[in-house]
A and B are shown apart, each in its own frame.
Chain A
Amino acid sequence: MIDIKNLSYTYMKGTPFEKTALKNISLNIDDGNFLAIAGHTGSGKSTLIQIIAGLIDVPKGTVEVDGESIKNKSARRKIGIVFQYPEHQLFEETVERDIAFGPRNFGLSEDEIISRVDESMQLVGLDLALKDKSPFELSGGQRRRVAIAGILALKPKYLILDEPTAGLDPRAKKNLLAEIKRLHELGVTIILVSHSMEDIANLASRVIVLTDGEILFDGTPRKLFVHEKILNRAGLIPPAATKLLQKISRAGLNVNAEVLTIDEAENEIWRAIK
């Protein structure tokens, strides 16, 4: 479990550029959870995940991973973080070496490193034949997978993904989301930062909404997307399926507008008109 208590953070404190990014956040993330974090640009999402991953030191509040402070290396090693456009961080000559970089730094044995490279490539759906290729010869979607595999090779118990599908085409997006879902099913706790309400609706069991550094909402996606006031305040827009059903409902047809996905929308309309 990740246990966050009374977390506050201010950038450039004591200067004219002082900006409060987080205000007194408390949050528990249970093992096996699929948590989404939503909120507009500047709402504090990136600051929060960097603190959870132990990349920003916190002067105020505590972050504990399985009862241990994030200030300890062993706690930090349980958390993997995949930044936006992670493929920009690839640098090695081959896919294999790039993925092996983290485990090698952890001081693992060569045998262990090889098996972790294979395993994480398979987890993200990369053909093992790509191992000896330069990452720069691969497509955008494949490069992103290599970058994610590099994090998975560290076997994080908790995986933070910041906008993992940004810039991918619809098919690559769908495939990557399916792989994230599979990771979750394998027991990895997922923390997904996303601007895509569709992705949140399809995957997350819990969503927190940040505005101005505070938690405005904490609950299921289904509850969030009918909460017009909160959506407006946070600058969010419900998924297309939800929006369409809301329009049908307003037009006087008796449909349940609390749908999240296209599948649910299809079934609900079918039920209503049959």
Chain B
Amino acid sequence: MEIIRAENLKHVYKTSTDEKVALDGLNFTIDEGEFVAIIGINGSGKSTLAKHFNALLLPSDGKIFVAGLDTADENNLWRIRENIGMVFQNPDNEIVAAVVEDDVAFGCENLGVPPDEIKRRIDFALDAVNMTEYKKFSPSKLSGGQKQRIAIAGVLAMRTKIIVFDEPTAMLDPVGRREILNTVQKLHAQGLTIIYITHFMEEAAVADRIFLMDGGKILRIGTPRRIFADVAAIKRLGLDVPIAVELADRLRRRGLKLPKNIFTDDEFVDTVKELKF
């Protein structure tokens, strides 16, 4: 079932002297429970699009509907933000309280959820991100990945159906990155709709579909396997492909006959093994 629809969505940033078209007429739908990754170089329009999902920005032209609600209609604002939560790059900018559980409760409190219900939601949200044991901790004692999981818990506590992640792992160490990706995959498996902006192609590779953006347009929409299959096109756009795809491509160019569908490390290992024996 469709949960987000964009119709000819445009965004123009205006200054006193000039105009910049950041989103140039986007059309797409996202289904409930889908995991969509958005990739593209800096300035391609990814973060501008992200801010349209929860009406932080409003369309200059065209429409975007979230859970059937038009973001341009001011009366819909709070209902939209109950449905959709955002997690940004820098966890330190997202933490507001001195104790983990208070931080997770912050959004719910603003929504006027009764205290008993908030307690239940904190427990549920911390459990979902595997941070229950840190409930009484000070966020300042946590690692980057842990802080980012607290930020996710705060969104979950609002009973959000959709979470938009804008480069949530850009500032994290390798373990922190893995923690976040695992958490995101787990939430997706539980039925949440995930929209995930990233520069790490190995993270985009686990999505159901990828939106490939450039110059304010969505150039392609497809499964990661299909999007990354066109190695030359991806590289022309200034992006990368997962390592198995890259190596298979290079070996083919050296004249090796390899099947077309190599995408994961395991597929690569299996193919190479067969070549040898």
B138 and chain A: residue at smallest CB distance: A17
Residues facing A in B190-246 (CB within 8 A) are: 199, 201-202, 238-240, 242-244, 246
* Residues on the B chain within 8 Å of A197, using CB: 174
Contact A266-B144, Cβ < 8 Å, known A139-B42, A169-B238, A251-B269: no
Indicate whether A248 reaches chain B with its CB closer than 8 angstroms.
Answer: yes
Contact A41-B173, Cβ < 8 Å, known A170-B240, A244-B247, A262-B247: yes
Contact A273-B89, Cβ < 8 Å, known A236-B174, A244-B268: no
Indicate whether B136 reaches chain A with its CB closer than 8 angstroms.
Answer: no
Residue in B144, B167, B269 whose CB lies within 8 Å of A167: B167
* Residues on the A chain within 8 Å of B251, using CB: 266, 269-270
Residue in B43, B172, B272 whose CB lies within 8 Å of A195: B172
Number of A-B contacts (CB under 8 A): 107
Query: Are B272 and A248 in touch, CB under 8 angstroms?
Result: yes
* Residues on the A chain within 8 Å of B175, using CB: 40, 235-237
* Residues on the A chain within 8 Å of B250, using CB: 262, 266
**Is the interface on chain A under 10, 10 to 19, 20 to 34, or 35 or more residues?**
35 or more
Query: Are B202 and A240 in touch, CB under 8 angstroms?
Result: yes
Residue in B254, B265, B273 whose CB lies within 8 Å of A244: B265
Q: A170 to B270, alpha carbons, bound, how many Å?
A: 28
**Is the interface on chain B under 10, 10 to 19, 20 to 34, or 35 or more residues?**
35 or more
Residue in A167, A236, A253, A272 whose CB lies within 8 Å of B170: A167
Q: A172 to B199, alpha carbons, bound, how many Å?
A: 11
* Residues on the B chain within 8 Å of A240, using CB: 202, 242-243
Residue in A141, A236, A273 whose CB lies within 8 Å of B275: A273
* Residues on the A chain within 8 Å of B247, using CB: 244, 262, 265-266, 269
Indicate whether B276 reaches chain A with its CB closer than 8 angstroms.
Answer: yes
A239 and chain B: residue at smallest CB distance: B243
Indicate whether A133 reaches chain B with its CB closer than 8 angstroms.
Answer: no
Contact A41-B144, Cβ < 8 Å, known A139-B43, A265-B247: yes
Q: A272 to B145, alpha carbons, bound, how many Å?
A: 39
Indicate whether B30 reaches chain A with its CB closer than 8 angstroms.
Answer: no
Indicate whether A151 reaches chain B with its CB closer than 8 angstroms.
Answer: no
Indicate whether A160 reaches chain B with its CB closer than 8 angstroms.
Answer: no
What is the 8 Å Cβ interface bit string for chain A, positions 149-179, against chain B (1 contact, 0 not)? 0000000000000010011111111000000
Q: A82 to B266, alpha carbons, bound, how many Å?
A: 39
Indicate whether B143 reaches chain A with its CB closer than 8 angstroms.
Answer: yes
Query: Are B254 and A253 in touch, CB under 8 angstroms?
Result: no
Interface centre among A173, A195, A266, A270 (most CB of B within 10 A): A195
Indicate whether B56 reaches chain A with its CB closer than 8 angstroms.
Answer: no
Contact A166-B143, Cβ < 8 Å, known A140-B43, A141-B42, A273-B272: no
Indicate whether B178 reaches chain A with its CB closer than 8 angstroms.
Answer: yes
Indicate whether A65 reaches chain B with its CB closer than 8 angstroms.
Answer: no
Q: A107 to B29, alpha carbons, bound, how many Å?
A: 58
Interface centre among A140, A241, A244, A266 (most CB of B within 10 A): A244
Query: Are A166 and B171 in touch, CB under 8 angstroms?
Result: yes
Query: Are B174 and A248 in touch, CB under 8 angstroms?
Result: no
Q: A166 to B240, alpha carbons, bound, how many Å?
A: 16
What is the 8 Å Cβ interface bit string for chain B, positions 162-184, against chain A (1 contact, 0 not)? 00000100111111111000000
Query: Are B43 and A252 in touch, CB under 8 angstroms?
Result: no
Q: A241 to B240, alpha carbons, bound, how many Å?
A: 14
Q: A265 to B201, alpha carbons, bound, how many Å?
A: 19
* Residues on the B chain within 8 Å of A248, using CB: 268-269, 272-273
Shortest 9 CB-CB distances between A and B: which pairs? A171-B238, A235-B175, A237-B174, A169-B41, A240-B243, A170-B240, A41-B144, A167-B170, A140-B42
| 30 A-B residue pairs with CB within 8 Å | A41-B143, A41-B172, A41-B173, A41-B176, A139-B43, A141-B42, A167-B89, A168-B42, A168-B199, A170-B201, A171-B238, A172-B41, A173-B199, A195-B172, A236-B173, A236-B174, A237-B178, A240-B243, A241-B243, A244-B243, A244-B247, A247-B269, A248-B269, A248-B272, A253-B273, A266-B247, A266-B250, A266-B251, A270-B251, A270-B256
Query: Interface of B with A (CB < 8 Å)?
Result: 40-43, 89, 143-145, 167, 170-178, 199, 201-202, 238-240, 242-244, 246-247, 250-251, 254, 256, 265-266, 268-270, 272-273, 275-276
Given A243-B265, A247-B265, 8 extra CB contacts under 8 A: A140-B43, A172-B41, A172-B42, A195-B174, A195-B177, A244-B247, A269-B251, A273-B276
Query: Interface of A with B (CB < 8 Å)?
Result: 39-42, 84, 139-141, 163, 166-173, 195, 197, 235-237, 240-241, 243-244, 247-248, 251-253, 262, 265-266, 269-270, 272-273
